[in-house]
């Protein structure tokens, strides 16, 4: 099954992202909800997942706009 924008509908892309990320409400510091937002351009058909991942990796490695974690009290 292809996950490319040209081969999927918006509804299918929403499902792909939801299934890939998992239960976003279970996150203790809100980072999972941020991941869901990060893939909105894919869901809207603007960018492929590969492009989004490459942009995130480049920002993370450079330290620019990197994710910050507030901590988690769950063991």
User: pLDDT 10s digit of each residue in the chain, 75 long?
Assistant: 899 999 999 999 999 998 888 755 555 555 555 677 889 999 999 999 999 999 988 877 776 654 454 555 544
Residue 22: its pLDDT value, please?
A: 73
Residue 74: its pLDDT value, please?
A: 47
The dihedral built from the CA positions of residue 43, 57, 27 and 3, taken in this order, carries a sign that is positive
Report the predicted TM-score, pTM, of the whole model to 2 decimal places.
Answer: 0.66
Calpha distance 47→56 (Å, rounded) = 13
Residue 48: its pLDDT value, please?
A: 97
């Amino acid at each position: 099954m292809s996950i490319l924008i040209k081969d999927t509908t918006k509804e299918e892309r929403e499902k792909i992202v939801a299934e890939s990320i998992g239960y976003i409400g279970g996150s203790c510091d809100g980072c999972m909800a941020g991941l869901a937002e990060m893939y909105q351009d894919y869901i809207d058909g603007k960018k492929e997942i590969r492009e989004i991942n490459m942009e995130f990796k480049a920002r993370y490695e450079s330290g620019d706009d990197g994710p910050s974690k507030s901590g988690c009290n769950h063991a």
